[in-house]
Structure 1
Amino acid sequence: MLCSVALVLSCSIEKKATKAFRVGKYQNAIDLNKKILENNPNNAKANYFIAESYRLSNRIKEAEPFYAKAGGRQLDQDSIQFYRAQSLKAAGKYSDASKEFDALVASTQNVPLKDRAAAERKGIDYLAHLDEKKNYYKVKNLEALNTSASEFSPAYVNNELYFTSSRGDGKIYEAEGKPFTDIYKVATSGAKVDVATITKLPTTFNDEIRNEGCATFSPDGKTMIFAKGNSEKKKGGGVDVDLYISRNRNNVWSEPVPVNVNTVIKSEADGDAQNFSWDSSPCFAPDGRTLYFASNRKGGYGGTDIYSAQMDSRGRFSRVRNLGPEVNTVADEAFPYVAEDAKLYFASDGHPGYGGLDLFVVLRKNGKTVIENLGQPMNSSSDDFGIFLFRPDRGFFTSNRDGGKGDDDIYTFVNEDPDLKVVNYYLAGVTYTNDKDGKLQILPNAKVSLLDAEGTNMQDYVTGNDGKFLFRVYENENYSLVGDAEGFIVKRQTYTTLGKSVDPATLKDLINNITLDTTIVLDKKEQGKSFVLENIFYEFNQWFIRPDAAVELDKLVQILIDNPELKIELSSHTDSIASDSYNLELSQRRAQSAVDYIIQRGIAPDRLVPKGYGESKPIARNTNPDGSDNAAGRQKNRRTEFKILEINAIPKPIEDEEEFDEDKYFRGGN
């Protein structure tokens, strides 16, 4: 009878533990499974659920002894071995972790897992190289602010430090077994905080049955975006996290509302619909228009990825873009931060690091993206994340490393690199058009896009009445500028910063802003308007396309790609040497040859009409008034032009809030 009662109790505990795990109440699952271990320390399944609960609640270091005993039918032993190796790495046991990764690489048939294990093993070897590099960072626990609870995700604005903490004594968040987190602020001068001013934000932002955290502010401090976990009382809630936005008008913050970039991912685990979407750790870029955040939405590279979105003039976000495989991995990337020098910092446990989350920086070197680990002491075998620079050489970050005051702590850091110089390069320009007299006049309300050498859209700018635009650019890179305005032909032109950089050694200031200049002149989109194509040359008495002419025709191809509504006549003209009939036939063959080339480059034939005019439409005199040869005039007459015949199917102008369709507007360019 006693055995039956014990068996019933054991089954009841196991059932409760399993349900707690499936609904994300990880601390409850840990506590219940540990009760099972009291009677059977080697219970493989209970050990597994404890280990997984620690991992999924960001405590993988504590999971290692339980992974060592984990197992059970229908459980993936290879995954258990992989996560055990990760937990050893998080505990700083690199030699033991390496052995586990090596063993997994040798035994598993799971190719993706084999690749991850091999990458982790290679990453551990990389640490020796990383530790050899000179590091100028000095870090210090911000003891005045930290408690035995969790303090993380610092954000500094207007001499106030905002941070997230579980220091409250309210209701317990059952996933982690500690109070729900709230957002606090404290007055500070740099890293000198006035602890007497620590204040929890009002209930407009904080909710006693939700986790709040990871706040970011626009540069003017008037817009706040922060993460908030949905209430368990809300249908489908409990696990998901969304971004919320509030605006300060007349010193009053508006009621936070969801940002229009949030996603929903549904799971039907155990028959209960649960929302597992995670959109969090937001960060405004210095331009105040670009938002970076982390998300586990579909279509990413695995775990959480970092995305960007653009805010339009009405405060809505669009053009959500994954930062790609150079930044994102099959593991987790989160907590992005963009410094004043436009460098993107983020936390990752997928790039080679010391264990847990490490801090990384994205650098641009000769047009390529390079990811660098910040090294020790910024990183440790624990979680290091949530960086914020209040000056180019100093700031805050978060870590749960040994030696802190409890859970996550906020640390300060200083970069004492004697050669540290911040050089910001900007490209300033003005959009123009020609008036009826051919004189330049400012063109307002034009959209200008900056593309990198591969054609990737880096940033958009809509000019005001002054026609001015401004982009952040980098040294030793090639770009394209695309100008677009209603009623005008989309124009694309190149720009390079090669040879325009400044030697940092010649600079005295810590922060240096270098502004480069350019202009874009857009032509009106008018039926019947003609444009001369420069440098289209042919061999004598020939009509085949020379390589130098192909370069110029490719520019026309790009114009037709960028302006899909245009149908054109491509015409060839000659001077007056030779007979009228000969010149007419030769010019027709040359026009047809050019059209054939353009068709081969992907332009539809029904958008092109070849026309040879011979010598019938001169734009200059072939001879001087005295009858002598006018070589300069004949040169002008030997030309290739395109004329707008029709303007059909004009695409709807791109509204600020609409997602930018790169396939439609920038496909196949050179």
Structure 2
Amino acid sequence: MLLLICSLSGCFLQNMSLKKGHKKFDDGEYNIAIKHYKKQIASGKEVAEANYHLAEAYRLSNRTKEALPYYEAALKSGVPEEMANYYYAKSLVANQKYKEAKDHLTYFLQGAKDEEVIDICNNYVDNLTVLMKEEEEEPTFKVKNLEAINTEFAEYAPVYTKGKLYFTSNKAGNDIYRATGTPFTHIWTVKTKGARVEMETAEQIKELYSNGANEGTITFSPDGKTMIFARGNTGRRKGTNDVNLYETKFRKGKWSEPKMIAASDPQAWDSAPAFSPDGKLLYFASNRKGGMGGTDIYVASKDGRGRWGNVRNLGNKINTADNESFPYLSDAGKLYFASEGHPGFGGLDLFVAERKDGKLQIRNLGKPVNSPADDFGIFLFSLNKGFFSSNREGGAGDDDIYTFVNSDPQLKVVNYYLTGTAVTINDEGTEEILADTQVKLMDANGEVLGEATANEDGKFKFRVYPAENYTLFGAKTDYLTSRTPFSTVGKTVSQDRLVKKITNVVFEKKIILEPIVLDKPIVLENIYYDFDKAEIREDAAVELDKLTNLLNDNPKIRIELGSHTDSRGEAAYNADLSQRRANSAVAYLIKSGIAANRLKAKGYGESTPIAANTNEDGSDNPEGRQKNRRTEFKIIGLDAKKNADGQVEYQSKDLEERFFGGDDEDDEGQ
């Protein structure tokens, strides 16, 4: 009995290590969890589960390289989690065993069952194929450890502005962050001239210090007076989700009390912020719900009151099922970021995304910028020079800051910009500036590439790219939205003609918005019909498609579409012909998806000419007749609302009229 009790007690104590490990794992305290799992493995009980979770603890605390033997042991012990094969392959890559990683996944996929895991692994096999080719390319970068600043502790995420280098470090920290077993990180600054650091000026930014929390990566507005940075990991929430973005302003010689920005999600991990060069956009990484997996890169816009909102995911061209983070938008319009999901040499690799020929192209920066370790947090202080972070072997310890020089002889950049003005045409026929107009730049597929608010001079500006077709979408209260085409096709500069390293090309475009005025006729150009017919011709369809866009862009308006003729033929016949033509145009709009209760067809025949059909001497006036043979639309209803049945109704002068045509007398004087 005594032996049995001792045996049961031993089993209980052995399994306690596993339970304690799971608890610390769930709390995100990976460093403590690792100790419990190692103790469990030493007991010889539940070894497969302990090995798998031990490997996961290493991976989740950014030590994928160290996870390799534990993933391998877990798989040999028959751990059932199929994703273990994927993470095992990634740990092989972290140890520069690219062929072994590809061979393992290829073998695993022959018997894999989970469709999601199969997709992830197939994608990674493709990535490894690309990676093994990129490894053979001749490098153009030269990198150097910034020895003056690096210590045995972590120094990372460098940002250079106004003669100072800002970075994040956990040196001189007292409190311990349990997830990694290292001190909490805080923000430091040091005076520097390029890569020449004056270490005697190094100091911690005391105004931003928070005891028992990590201060993370930072970014500055173009004028250097606003800083946004990440802060969190206080332990108030399980895992790593209590990381948020804070904003502080430099006033009277010091930084103000930080405040969380509206774009940050308190229930998610939000970090790695980066201003766009014009300060109007904020890029950052987040694991908020609705992403592609892991951490994704998002962008937020600043509204007229200076608040950050309208958060958008950058989509599946940039983001993958793995982690993407540390975005940085250069003055040349290129998006740099770190990723585990794109073809990389292990851990986080640095990539650059840029638009070419209307498509987003992503390229690994290659060796020696990238290594089998984590490479991230890039910052350029000139076209070919900058800083980045890495925990590669040979450094001072943990994360280090490195400098780089790109010696590529083809490194010449053309920046294309589109500047514009938002206007309206007044009753006198002259232009008036429309300040505060909301403008969007859309590509040929309708994807929004940029958003801006016209300033008091009606001006707006976008970065555009070579050989692409765009649409400028303008919107303002009390005005009809407008769509204005613009193209850089045939307007781009050949690379072999470049003399300077940086060339700026600026285009100009005007967008015109019509005020919303009830019953004001607006002529639709090029709406023609064959003689004595009412069918919609192809050239007329093009113009009606534009009207379809206008109605879709302005969902609150209801219109009358009126058709007019010249005076040839009998008046009654012309009235009937024009009505049939108006009906035909309205039917086309309905077929294009416009609700019938937003449309009214009206044939005016020859009753409302806008030019003389004949000259004063009685001879025919072809030009006048052409003007009279026209199709117009006018707004007859505004302010859409839904009725009890959920259908949209429009407040107008003829609310009871819900059919085409109608009694001519009822329309008189409208």
Q: TM over 0.5, yes or no?
A: yes
Q: Tell whether the 8 Å contact from 2:415 to 2:504 is kept in structure 1 after alignment.
A: yes
Q: Which residue of 1 aligns with 2:210?
A: 207
- The answer on whether the counterparts of 2:48 and 2:78 sit within 8 Å (CA) in structure 1 is no
The residue number in structure 2 matching 1:216 is 219
TM-score by length of 1: 0.91
Given that 1:137 and 1:416 are in contact with CA atoms closer than 8 Å, whether structure 2 keeps it comes out as yes
8 Å CA contact retained: 2:48, 2:73:
yes
Match of 2:168 among 164, 169, 175: 164
Gap change, CA 1:84 and 1:445, over 3 Å in 2: closer
Matched residue, 2:232: 229
The reply to whether residue 295 of structure 1 matches residue 286 of structure 2 is yes
In the aligned structure 2, how far is the partner of 1:41 from the partner of 1:382?
33
Residue identity matched to 2:392: R
1:149 alignment partner, SS class = coil
Partner Cα distance (1:637, 1:239) in 2: 67
Q: Tell me, what secondary structure is at the counterpart of 1:194?
A: strand
Instruction: Tell me how far apart the structure 2 counterparts of residues 470 and 308 of structure 1 sit (CA, whole Å).
Output: 18
TM-superposed CA distance for 1:444, in Å, is 2.0
Query: What is the rounded CA distance, in whole Å, between the counterparts of 2:244 and 2:190 in structure 1?
Result: 25
The AA in structure 2 aligned to 1:193 is: V
Tell me the amino acid that sits aligned with residue 248 of structure 2.
Answer: S
Aligned position for 1:311: 302
What pairs with 1:88-107 in structure 2 (closer than 5 Å)? Answer: 88-107=92-111
Equivalent residue runs for 1:521-532 within 5 Å: 521-532=512-523
Listed as ranges, the matches of 1:375-394 within 5 Å are: 375-394=366-385
The Cα of 1:249 is off from its aligned counterpart by 2.5
1:246 equivalent to 2:248? Answer yes
How far apart are the structure 1 equivalents of 2:48 and 2:580?
A: 81
Matched to 1:122, the amino acid is D
- Is residue 2:438 matched to residue 1:447? yes
In structure 2, relative to structure 1, the CA distance for the partners of 1:239 and 1:649 (3 Å cut) is closer
Gap change, CA 1:493 and 1:44, over 3 Å in 2: same
Q: Is this contact kept in 1: 2:358–2:467, CA < 8 A? A: yes
Flag the 1:505–1:251 CA change in 2: closer, same or farther, 3 A.
Answer: farther
| Residue in structure 2 matching 1:184, options 173, 185, 188 | 188
Distance 1:238 1:322, change over 3 A: closer
2:527 to 532, 536, 546: 536
Which residue does the alignment assign to 2:639?
A: 648
The residue type equivalent to 1:634 in the other structure is R
Q: Which residue of 2 aligns with 1:108?
A: 112
User: Match for 2:601 among 589, 607, 610?
Assistant: 610
Q: 2:91 is matched with which residue?
A: 87
Question: Do 1:168 and 1:181's aligned partners in 2 also have CA atoms closer than 8 Å?
Answer: no
Q: Is the 1:42–1:69 contact (alpha carbons within 8 Å) kept by the matching residues of 2? A: no
Q: Distance in 2 between matches of 1:617 and 1:14?
A: 89
Paired residue for 1:406?
A: 397
Partner of 1:259: 261
Q: Secondary structure at the match of 2:74?
A: coil
Provide the aligned length of Structure 1 versus Structure 2: 638
1:483 is matched by which residue type in structure 2?
A: G
Q: Deviations over 1:451-507 (max 9, x none)?
A: 121112222222222111111111111111112222211111111111111123323
Distance 1:530 1:324 in 2: 42
Aligned to 1:49: 53
Aligned to 1:486: 477
Once residues 490 and 518 of structure 2 are traced to their aligned partners in structure 1, the CA distance between those partners, rounded to angstroms, is 41
Return closer, same or farther for 1:606/1:41 CA change in 2, 3 Å cut-off: closer
RMSD: 2.1
Shift of 1:57: 0.4
Query: Could you report, residue by residue, the CA deviation over 1:163-189 in whole angstroms, capped at 9, with x for unpaired residues?
Result: 111222412211111111111111111
Contact kept? 1:445, 1:463, Cα under 8 Å: yes
Q: Does the CA-based 8 Å contact 1:170-1:208 persist in structure 2?
A: no
User: Deviation digits for residues 556-596 of structure 1, max 9, x if unmatched?
Assistant: 11111111221111111111222212211111111110010
Q: 1:208, 1:34 → 2: CA distance?
A: 31
**Alpha carbons 1:82, 1:100 under 8 Å: kept:** no
- Stretch moving more, 353-362 or 119-128: 119-128
Q: Does 1:460 align with 2:444?
A: no
- Decide whether aligned partners of structure 1 residues 83 and 131 sit closer, same or farther in structure 2, where only a CA change above 3 A counts: closer
| Alpha-carbon distance between aligned partners in 2 of 1:532 and 1:239, rounded to the nearest angstrom | 57
SS at the partner of 1:331? coil
Q: Take 1:342 and 1:553, find their aligned partners in 2: how far apart are those partners? A: 37
Structure 1 equivalent of residue 660 of structure 2: none
CA 250–503 in structure 1, closer or farther in 2 if over 3 Å, else same: farther
CA distance in 1, matches of 2:560, 2:252: 58
Tell me the distance in 1 between the aligned counterparts of 2:641 and 2:472.
22
Shift of 1:436: 2.0
Q: Does the CA-based 8 Å contact 1:104-1:114 persist in structure 2?
A: no
Aligned to 1:624: 615
Q: Distance in 1 between matches of 2:526 and 2:491?
A: 27
Most deviating of 499-508 and 328-337: 499-508
Aligned to 2:410: 419
The correspondence of residues 576-595 of structure 1 with structure 2, limited to 5 A, is: 576-595=567-586
**Aligned residue type for 2:245:** L
Q: What is the aligned partner in structure 1 of residue 358 from structure 2?
A: 367
**Residues 48-106 of structure 1, C-alpha deviation per residue, up to 9 Å, x if partnerless?**
22211101101010011111212699953422222112111111011221221112111
> Which moved further from structure 2: 241-250 or 355-364?
241-250
Partner of 1:142: 146
Which residue matches 2:339? 348
Alpha-carbon distance between aligned partners in 1 of 2:219 and 2:390, rounded to the nearest angstrom? 19
Partner-residue secondary structure (3-state), 1:321: strand
Counterpart of 1:192 in structure 2: which amino acid?
R
d(CA) in 2 for partners of 1:299 and 1:464? 34
Contact 1:450 1:471 in 2 (8 A): yes
Structure 1 residues 197 and 650 mapped into 2: Cα distance closer, same or farther (>3 Å)? farther
More deviation, 473-482/65-74: 65-74
Change (3 A) 1:567 1:360: same
State the Cα deviation string for residues 237-295 of structure 1 (Å, max 9, x = none): 86521111111223331111112122244xxxxxxxxxxx2111111111201011111
**CA offsets 1:399-426 (integer angstroms, 9 cap, x no match):** 1112212111111111111121121111
> How far off its partner does 1:15 sit?
3.3
| Preserved CA contact (<8 Å) 1:45 1:71 | no
Deviation, structure 1 residue 146: 1.0
Cα distance in 2 between the residues matched to 1:17 and 1:297: 26
Report the Cα offset of residue 538 of structure 1.
0.8
**Hey, what does 2:647 align to over in structure 1?**
none
Distance 1:551 1:304 in 2: 44
Deviates more, 1:442-451 or 1:182-191: 442-451
Q: CA deviation at 1:6?
A: 5.2
